[in-house]
Each structure stands twice: as C-alpha cells, then as structure tokens.
Structure 1
Amino acid sequence: MEKTLVADGSSQAAEAALDDKAEARRELALISARLERLPFSRWHGKVLATVATGHLFDAFDAVTIAFVLPVLVVLWNMTPGEVGLLISVGYLGQFIGALLMGSAAERFGRLPTFRVSLVIIALFSFSSVFAWGLGIFLVFRFMQGIGLGGEVPVAATYMNELSPAKNRGRIIFTLQSGFALGTMVTGLIAVWIIPKYGWQSMFVVGSLPIILAAILPRLAPESPRWLAANGQIREADRIVTQMENRLSSEARAKLPPLEVVTPPLRKRPSFGQLFNDGLAARTVGVWIIACCTSLTGYGLIAWMPTLYRTEYQLPVETALRYGMISNAVGFIAIFIGVLLIDYIGRRLTFMLGFFGSAVPMLYMAYVGTALPAFQVMVYASISLMFITFLLGGLYVYAPEIYPTRIRATGAGAASAWLRIGSIIGPVIVGALLTHASIHAVFVLFGGAAILGGLAVLTLGLETKGRALDEIAS
C-alpha cells in the first residue's frame, strides 16, 4: 500500500510539472502574440535608435583598422602578410565574441550582454592608443574583437524579438543602417583627424561606447520574449503592457485579434539544437551565406584603402578618400535594402546582392591594374553597394529562423561564420598579393559572392511577413 501511495504521489508530481510547463509555454505564446500585433511606435523608435547607436560605435571600431593601416604600413614597415595578420586577429576575436556573447545572451539576458560588449569595445579601443608596436597592437585588436563580435548578433536578436512580423525586415535593416552609417562616419573622421592628429586619435574616438553602456538601462528594457522564456512572466507582461499603453486609444482599438501559436515543449538550450528539429539545412545555409558575405563585403571594406595605396600608388589622403566614398555608397545601399527586404523578400534580395556584387569584381579580375584607380573605386563601390544587402540583411534573417530558446545562439553562430570569413580572407589576400597578383584578389571576392548566391538559391528560407513563432514551428 505504501509503495502504491508513493507511486501515485510521484505520478501526480510529474503531471503537475507537465502542467506547469504547459502553462509557461502558453504564457510565452501570449507574450509573443501581443508583441507581434503591435504597430511600430515611438517606443520602438527610441529603442531602435539606442541599439543602432551601439551598431554605429561597433562599425567605427571595426572599420578603423582599414583607415589606420595605410599609415601603419609605412610607419611599422609592414609586409602584406603582417597586414593580413593584423586584420585577421581582430576578426578572430570577433569570432570568439560572437559565440561567447551569443551563449551569454541566452543565459543572462540580451541587454546585459549587449552592455558588456560595449564596455569591452571601449576599453580596448582606448588601450590601442598606447600601442608601441605590432605585437601589442595585435593583442589589443584581438581583445577588442571579442566585444565587437558579440555586440552585433546580440543587438540584432534583441530587436528581432521586439519587432512585429509585418515590419521586422525593415526594422532590422534600419538597425543595420547604424553599422553602415558608422562605416561612413569612420571614413569622414579618418580623413579629417588622421593627417592632423595621428592614427591614435581614431582609437580615442573609438572609446566613446562606454557612455552608451553607462546609460543603456535607462533607454531600453530587457526582451519580453527572453523574460517570458526564462520564467519572468510578470516582468515580461509589465514591459509589453507599457508598450501597449504608449499607443493612442485609437491605435489600441485597431489592434488585430491575438493569434497565439503555442511553441513546442522547451528544451534546454544547447549548440547542438541548431541541427535538430529540422534546423540543420537552415543552419548550414546561413553559415555559408555569412562566410561568403564576409569574404566579399569585409574584404572590400578592409583592403581597398590599402590596395589604393600599395597597388595603385595613391597618396594616403586620396586612398582614404576613395575608401570613404565607397562606404558612403554602402550607407545609401542600406536604404535600398530597407525597401526591398519586406517587398520582394529575403531570398530575392540576397541573390540580387550576391550576384550583383560578383559582376564588378570579376570584371576587375579580368582587367586588373590596367584600370585607372578612379574606375577601380567606382567598380568597388558598386560591388560594395550590392553586398551591403547581405551585410545588413543577414542580421534580419539569422535570428528569425530559430526559436527563442536558441535565437541568440543561432545568430551568434552565424555571426561567427561571418568572422571566419573575415579571419581567413585577409590571410588569403595577403598570400595572393605576395605570391600571385591583384587579379587573384578580385577573383576571390567575386567567387565568394557567386557561391553565396548559390547557397541562398538552394538552402535559403523565405521568412517575409511570418511571425517568429510560426517560422520556428
């Protein structure tokens, strides 16, 4: 009799535990449904501007190396291999940061992880001011890369979870405009202050993210989806209620009925889940897309100012100006992407970006140094314009193809593959310049874009207009 009672008690406890889990899933589904039906409001605009400012700082610190290299190449008598190593080591830090911060965001929350990333960026930017040679500079660039690599995927995941399905593509693409604006601002500031105050001045400016980190909790709340998924239903409800109350009475009256999609039974988050439950093809596809985007996009951003200086023999000021012009074109391309991504969809936008970027690169591979430097700048700018559709759009796509429990991990892993392309690309380019020619460099950039386009064609998933819970299921 006693054994029977014990067995009955265990059964009842198990049933109660299952009921609790089911209730938690229903609460999460309700929070998600309330977020999905909200229109874009001033509340969203404030948070978007805050996170986009973090992207701007991230871009400034990531791209600064491209504008100080033309000076350091001469100052430190660097070889092409050392230039490639210096670029790659920063991206190695970003690779590690994307994985570490993605996992940290699942455990500790999106906002605290975003904040820590900003502190790391600022700290090691300021440290770089005091670098006395290549060795110590490599250390500082690696450490700063951990923050740079963590900020982008965590911020993109955070904004994805706040954005309604109808406008999510445009919102996240607009977020990425902060990064594109940062690259353009970097060029403008570099042209002005490097000749006047020296290369170290760029890293003084790069320490400004510490200010945003200090005031971030006053400007943005934690992701309600993350809170609900981690049992903090009351706090999630408070934030969503605040978002709803910011709407006018007329706007609240027009809210559509709730469409609640209960997510499947929640599993403990792990990296291996990126390949389970039908996610393997999505994961492999987004990794290939990310790596190819990086080889072409960051290859153009990081290497072109130095190529203008070393291969086309332009003065430093002209090389920096040409790099700035290309970055300005990339910034304009972001707004084209904003219009396209929720209109023609992710797949068509990405294929247009990859194949459109490949054509100018392959033409320059054929012509090489026979082209005047100005024409090279024009073709490089066109290629960067198209690949910017991917540089911005990847962070729309990567977080939305995964469920909430592993969204930051999935986005972080995709971002890590972006960094892998950034690590191996400069090393390959340095080797090609040493043992081959600039023709081979442009073949690398164009070939990577073609491979990326084929990956979108065969493995890409169309997510336009679909709720996150619907995509995950």
Structure 2
Amino acid sequence: MSTTDSGAAAVSPALSEAAVAARIERLPRAPWQVRARMVIGVATFFDAFDALSVAYVLPVLAVAWGLQPTQIALAISIGFFGQLVGALAVGVVAERWGRIPVATLSVLVFSLGSLALAFSPNFVFFLVVRFIQGIGLGAEVPVAATYIAEITGAHKRGRFVLLYELVFPAGLLVAAVAGFWIVPNLGWQWMFILGALPALIALYLRRKMPESPRWLQRAGRDEEADRVLRHVEETTRRETGKELPEPAPVDASHVSRRASWRDLFAGIYLRRTLVVWVLWFSAYLTTYGLTAWLPTIYRTIYKLSLNDSLLYSLVTTGAGLLGAAIYAFTIDIVGRRVALAGGLLIGGILLLILTGLGAGSAPEVLLWSSLAYLWISAVSLTAYLYTPELYPTRVRAFGVGVASAWLRIASILGPFVVSAVISSSGNITIVFLIFGAVALAGGLIVALFGVETRNKILEEFSP
C-alpha cells in the first residue's frame, strides 16, 4: 500500500472531526460526486417543477371552481404553510436521523402528494393535500443543500454547489414549458401526475447514496464514517486514476461536541443568522410573489389569452435560469457577499424602474420583471450555497432549515401582498414598488453585515 493511503488506512478508535474534514478536502472532483449531485438534484428539479405547477394550473382552476383573488392567494400560499412546517422540522430530524433518510422520506411525501392533487375533486381537497405535500417540499431542499455542502471540499465549492442548484431553475423552466403545452392540451391534472415521478428517485436515494461522513462523525458513528470515507476515497482513485495526496491538517480543535439551537445565536453566529434570515426573506418575497402570480396577472390585469399568459411567464422563468448559470460560473471569482448583495440591489432597482414607468402594458412588465428576476432568482439559489457554509456540522441542517423557513414565510406573504393590492386598488405598480424596496433593503444589509465564505473549509470557518 502506498504512503498516500495512510490517511485512509489509519483508523483511530474515535475518528476526529478534523480527520474527516481533511480526508474530504483532499479529494479531487470525481464522477461519483457528480452522480451524487445529479441524484439529489433530480429530486430538487421536481421540487421546483411542482412549486411552479400550481401557478400554471390556477388560471384554469380559478375559472373552473370560480375562485376569488383571496382564494387564489390561499391556493398558492397553503403549500408554503406546509413547507414552513417541513423546513422547521427538517433540521431537528436530519440532525438526529441523518441526511439521506430524511431526504428519502421528504421526496416520497411530496411525490405522493402531487399524485393525489391530480385527482382533486374540489377546492377544499386541493388545499388539504397541498399543505401535506408542502411538508415534504419544505424538508427536501434544505437537507439536500446541507448534504451537498458536506460532501464537497472548499476549493471551487461555489461552482460545484451552484451547478447542482441549477436544476431548480431548470425545473421551473421545464414546468413553464410543460404548463404552456400540457395545461391547454392535456389538462391541468397531468402537471401533478408528472410531479409524482420522484417517488422512484426516493428508492434509489435510500439504497445507493452514502450518508454524509461529517454527520456520521458528529453522531458518534465513527466506524461508519470511516467506511464511507474509505469507499469514496477508493472510488475517487479508481475514477480519476490518481493517488490521493496526504490529508492536510485542518484546525478543528475549537469545535464543540455539544449541539444546541442556541448555537444559531451565540458568538459569531448571531450576526450570520440575522443576515441570512434577511437574505432569504427579501429574495424569496420577491421571487415567489412575482412568479406565482405572473400568469394570473397577465390573464386578469392585462387580459392576455391563456397561451400568451403562460408564454410570457415562460420567458421570465428562462431569465432566471440564465441568471443562475451566470452565478454558477462566477461565484468563486466575485465571492458570495458581492454576488448576493449585488443581485438584490440590481434586481430592486430594476423593479423600481418598472414602478416609475407605470407598468402600463404586459410587454413592459415582461421586460423589467424578467430582468429583475434574472438577478434575484440567482440570489435565491445562492442562499442554498451560502447558508450551509455559515454553520458547523452539529447544527448545519437545523440552521439551513430555520433560514429556509423565512423563505416559506416570505412565500406565504408574497401572494397575499399581490392579492391585497389587486383587491383594494387594482394598481399593480404598488406591487412592484413593495418588492423593489424589499430587495434593496435586503441587498444593503447583506452588503454591510454579510461575511465572505469563498474557499473556506467548513470546520475552520464555522467551528
């Protein structure tokens, strides 16, 4: 056995957190990591697909069931209520049970919920199932983001994670394309039937994906952590054809063995927690407030046909995918704080320009809202990269789950803001004014108080 194997061969009775981190950090990019990203990413793809499906079926259901603006807002927001429950619960459960079992269960819940939605006989049934399905949706994304961060080394982690996160806007784009064709031609039910496909992925997740070695070590399951590390090290050697370098020392001497929810507000983490909460709220109040309502706005405010309403929304969703791709290839160059703050500030300014122009026509709304969405949706995805980097392994899933709960709160409020404005005044420019101001405020706070995490080893930066 070569000397380069010594880091993997020496098994101590108690595998330290520093040793686990060092062995992960020495791994070069290999196909097994891409496979892991793709498997987890497919689940996230359908998460996005389902999240937008409701926006494309609502113009049909609103007519079929005679829904009022407040009922439409409730139909959008009820899923986010479920996601809020899932996001708050996932941290505690994932810290106790592990990343892969929780990801598997959450995928099953939202897949089966999607299938049930296809057979909704009335509005009440739709609301109940949408809430239950939301619990699965709310749990899946934060635990997936946590898992990807924990199996990835510091070098170029931003590009690797954001390339994984690209599946979310891709899912939104596919949902937009599917909704544009499927809803008028096959019926709204098929959107939810397609959303049930991830149930198959859940079976693969449980059988094939290795658990996070970082979580296994923190859970006191050192032998399992070492076994997983040996497996990925050997797989990396085989797939890359290269021997691994000796693990470089990682300073984890200051890591605490005890975990508590209070860690989110202790020492250096208080500032990080408050900033990241503002980040999630401001980004997602705008993204979900706009995208969930845009098809209906085009249909009801600007009197476009159903096909044109869906086509306009498809363009905006495509702009979001472009923005995410740009961020994926530049995030490790410009850094997290500049990208996050800059995206919110630029997006907010673009929405305020739309407000000043009066939003007098559908093409005008399409142009400026798409440009704003290009930036703000990229920020929304980058939050999934940035947040796991801010917390230690012992509370990482919990920290991401609580932060993403602010996503759900914003997602609940966003549609109701639009509904309240439409119902009270019908002046759609007020909506763009509110969302633009929120984005600007969030960008300023991140710029002033955010911390940079680029190329930082998780155990050293988040003790």
Using the size of structure 2 for normalisation, the TM-score is 0.94
CA gap 1:263/1:115 in 2 versus in 1, 3 angstroms = farther
Q: Are 2:146 and 1:150 equivalent residues in the alignment?
A: no
Q: Residues 329 and 381 of structure 1 are in contact (CA less than 8 Å); yes or no, is this contact kept in structure 2?
A: yes
Deviates more, 1:437-446 or 1:108-117: 437-446
CA distance in 1, matches of 2:324, 2:253: 33
CA gap 1:256/1:355 in 2 versus in 1, 3 angstroms = farther
CA distance in 2, matches of 1:126, 1:65: 13
1:30 to 19, 24, 28: 19
Kindly provide the amino acid, as one letter, of the partner of residue 417 in structure 2. I
Q: Which residue of 2 aligns with 1:226?
A: 215
User: Any unmatched runs of 5+ in structure 2?
Assistant: 1-11
C-alpha deviation, 1:152, in angstroms? 0.5
Q: Are 2:259 and 1:273 equivalent residues in the alignment?
A: no
Q: Which residue of 2 aligns with 1:368?
A: 358
Q: Residues 33 and 261 of structure 1 are in contact (CA less than 8 Å); yes or no, is this contact kept in structure 2?
A: no
CA gap 1:256/1:457 in 2 versus in 1, 3 angstroms = farther
C-alpha deviation, 1:119, in angstroms? 0.5
Map 1:414-453 onto structure 2 (within 5 A).
414-436=403-425, 437-453=427-443
Q: Which residue of 1 aligns with 2:181?
A: 192
User: Any unmatched runs of 5+ in structure 1?
Assistant: 1-21
**Secondary structure, counterpart of 2:150 in structure 1:** helix
C-alpha deviation, 1:42, in angstroms? 0.6
Q: Residues 252 and 460 of structure 2 are in contact (CA less than 8 Å); yes or no, is this contact kept in structure 1?
A: no
C-alpha deviation, 1:375, in angstroms? 2.8
Q: Are 2:81 and 1:92 equivalent residues in the alignment?
A: yes
CA distance in 1, matches of 2:196, 2:233: 36
Deviations 1:23-64 (A, max 9, x none): 74x622101111012111111111011111011010011111
Deviates more, 1:252-261 or 1:281-290: 252-261
1:116 to 97, 102, 105: 105
CA distance in 2, matches of 1:308, 1:114: 36
Q: Which residue of 2 aligns with 1:203?
A: 192
% identical aligned pairs: 40
CA distance in 1, matches of 2:440, 2:252: 39
Q: Which residue of 2 aligns with 1:18?
A: none
C-alpha deviation, 1:272, in angstroms? 2.2
**Secondary structure, counterpart of 1:343 in structure 2:** helix
Larger radius of gyration, structure 1 or 2? Answer: 1
Q: Are 2:451 and 1:467 equivalent residues in the alignment?
A: no
CA distance in 1, matches of 2:236, 2:161: 21
Kindly provide the amino acid, as one letter, of the partner of residue 311 in structure 1. I
Q: Which residue of 2 aligns with 1:283?
A: 273
Q: Residues 50 and 219 of structure 1 are in contact (CA less than 8 Å); yes or no, is this contact kept in structure 2?
A: no
CA distance in 2, matches of 1:452, 1:252: 45
CA gap 1:459/1:256 in 2 versus in 1, 3 angstroms = farther
**Secondary structure, counterpart of 2:334 in structure 1:** coil
Deviations 1:149-172 (A, max 9, x none): 111100000000000101211111
CA distance in 2, matches of 1:298, 1:271: 28
Q: Which residue of 2 aligns with 1:327?
A: 317
CA distance in 2, matches of 1:387, 1:40: 29
C-alpha deviation, 1:173, in angstroms? 0.7
Q: Which residue of 1 aligns with 2:4?
A: none
Deviations 1:287-326 (A, max 9, x none): 0110001111112221111111111110011111111111
2:327 to 316, 337, 340: 337
**Secondary structure, counterpart of 1:165 in structure 2:** coil
C-alpha deviation, 1:267, in angstroms? 4.5
CA distance in 1, matches of 2:213, 2:377: 30
Q: Which residue of 2 aligns with 1:174?
A: 163
CA distance in 2, matches of 1:298, 1:219: 33
Q: Which residue of 1 aligns with 2:349?
A: 359
Q: Which residue of 1 aligns with 2:71?
A: 82
CA distance in 1, matches of 2:331, 2:60: 38
CA distance in 2, matches of 1:65, 1:219: 32
C-alpha deviation, 1:217, in angstroms? 2.6
CA distance in 2, matches of 1:57, 1:365: 33
1:395 to 381, 384, 387: 384
- Which of the pair is proportionally richer in helix? 1
CA distance in 2, matches of 1:269, 1:398: 18
C-alpha deviation, 1:251, in angstroms? 6.3
Q: Are 2:129 and 1:129 equivalent residues in the alignment?
A: no
Q: Residues 25 and 247 of structure 2 are in contact (CA less than 8 Å); yes or no, is this contact kept in structure 1?
A: no
Q: Residues 288 and 415 of structure 2 are in contact (CA less than 8 Å); yes or no, is this contact kept in structure 1?
A: no
Deviations 1:325-377 (A, max 9, x none): 1111211221101122111100110122101211221122122342x312321
Q: Residues 358 and 446 of structure 1 are in contact (CA less than 8 Å); yes or no, is this contact kept in structure 2?
A: yes
CA RMSD of aligned residues (A): 1.7
1:258 to 235, 242, 248: 248
Kindly provide the amino acid, as one letter, of the partner of residue 313 in structure 1. K
Off by >6 Å, runs of 4+ in structure 1: none
CA distance in 2, matches of 1:148, 1:297: 17
**Secondary structure, counterpart of 2:420 in structure 1:** helix
C-alpha deviation, 1:257, in angstroms? 4.3
Using the size of structure 1 for normalisation, the TM-score is 0.92
